[in-house]
A and B are shown apart, each in its own frame.
Chain A
């Protein structure tokens, strides 16, 4: 259907392996960084949806 830029890519599996290695590396880095996050900051972020900005106050729950 379209012009092929490359006719053949040898050892195509290496690209999938590289992508997996990239993912696992970033995954572990994210875990380590996340575990080192400041607790006060985490607490503040968790409260964000519960912050009320409306002037008239939160609605009462049922």
Chain B
């Protein structure tokens, strides 16, 4: 058999490694900043670009797509070449992938603080950037699939199945969730509305967790943990079973983000059942990782890399047990919108993704640079600081979540809300926010140690750009007559068939949940009193989206007495039919706003936006003074109406022609009312539009009038 000599591309691995470290630091710094802003809102320095609500998406996108994303590519480019015994398919594609991905991240850094956002979590980037993501993702796919097709190793190791499933599923998720109609270069509306938008968004959102934060990292675990431990994975059979189970079941779990909302009951139940079932395949992965070290636990004591990996896999197990528990309706009734969700997310993100990335970096960098790690002591110190940081992050958030959830629900003996003022529940958990910020700071201190340690390591070594390797050429032979053929061996040798079957498995859950929601009218009962937003209210809504108000405020009142007493009638599916995008939110740092319309006079809203503490003493909401200084941009109002008409919103024919006239008339009314209360404000300011939108919220079914002051 001919032995071929070739080389592995280590340069691209190095590039992605550097990007992982840099963006990790950036994303985590932004995270620490917003953690401090939760109790020191003045930290936004009165600048619109640095408010919590605008830069929180910067943090989430940076840590998910920049830190974890580059980490995935670093690990995939290293492991795939060696598992396939082939160099990456095309060096130019590798470079395009790398620089294209960094350009996408930079575009997020530029657009989010400026308020360009679609407001769909982890999919906030506007439509031109979405298209670039699709192109670069396809480039990655061609490079990866091309490498697999020209491999010298016949069988595809389990890690490669996870990479394949990741690629195809993320493609589907991104394309389906990002279907938007543009209004202008950096503004668009999703084609989905209300309930349907919520379902598509959280089918995407949860599967971003599944197929971006979990499956590729399981693939990396299946490669790097055996490498670091110098022993094979515990059970290859278990990896086959848990892989197929995982990719099938995960897709169904999305509705667990929408329990007790206006999403149809049958979809909620599917989400709960499949989320609980998900414990099994998730723990299959965890056990496979941990049991790999059976009989070698003494090495964990000595080796910081194994420490990172073991705690990462343990955190994965914890998060994948907690997640299904949170998906049970009775638990979710307490936890939804609280900081318990934040705690859960960060056990997974800081523990599983963060620690595994650090372990891989500590293992990989010395090998790329043909040297030893500069300081094992410093790596150990990083491990302990990071672990402490996670504990200081998660534990206060658990306390905060349960405290807030219980306070929201508590009734006095007389049958009234014990804590009718939402602000009381926020002030109660401020000390926990302080400890959480300390936890995040500890975590990033560990990252600083890592940067120093790896920097010294790199300096002491030399990059082996093209690592020479040898392997026998792949010879395709037919099976010998009578030789037993197992179906999984058959599919592991045929990547194309593997792609197709994995894609079908992944699609089943999405199709069963999403198609009926769209096709069945009874899922979204019509409410005849619901009318489209006026042009001024639409502009106000876009300001609400731009400022990121959904980050702290929900617009979904659940059918609990504690919620209807506090906020008003619970939210109905039919109320959101014209909401492109939906604004249900997923966290209540501030109160729910769905029935805000008519609760307070216009002057209250004006004063609240300018100085939140003047209306709510002790409030942690930052002020928004630029809304009274900035003129409302109405250059696209008519176009917005036309786009909404295309999306099925029943504005009258030719309504776009009189949109500006109606906008001005409504704005003049609001401005006059404010002037009557002593607030001098022109009708053309942004605050007028936002007030119009806030006063519209939830009044269509209660027929409320705006309170006079």
Contacts and interface: CB of A to CB of B under 8 A. Distances in A.
Interface residues of A, number: 43
Nearest to B243: A30
B512 A16 contact: yes
Chain B interface: which size bin? 35 or more
Interface in B354-379: 366-367, 370, 372-373, 376
A22 to B, nearest CB: 7
Contacts of B266: 12-13, 16
Interface string B219-256: 00011001100111100110011001100110000000
Interface in B268-304: 270, 303
Contact of B157 (A8, A49, A55): A49
Contacts of A12: 266, 516, 520
B241 A59 contact: no
A33 B222 contact: no
A9 B519 contact: yes
A1 B521 contact: no
B456 interface: no
A6 B367 CA distance: 58
A45 B372 CA distance: 29
A38 B486 contact: yes
Contact of B226 (A50, A56, A59, A62): A50
B367 A50 contact: no
A1 B158 CA distance: 42
Contact of B469 (A53, A60, A61): A53
A53 B82 contact: yes
B193 interface: yes
Contacts of B668: none
Contacts of B244: 26-27, 30
B159 interface: yes
A8 B521 contact: yes
Contact of A45 (B157, B367, B370, B509): B157
B669 interface: no
Contacts of B155: 44-45, 48
Most buried by B among A1, A6, A54: A1
A37 B488 contact: yes
A55 B5 contact: yes
Interface of B: 5, 8, 79, 82-83, 85, 153, 155, 157-159, 191-193, 222-223, 226-227, 230-233, 236-237, 240-241, 244-245, 248-249, 266, 270, 303, 366-367, 370, 372-373, 376, 467-471, 484, 486-489, 508-509, 512, 516, 518-522, 647-648
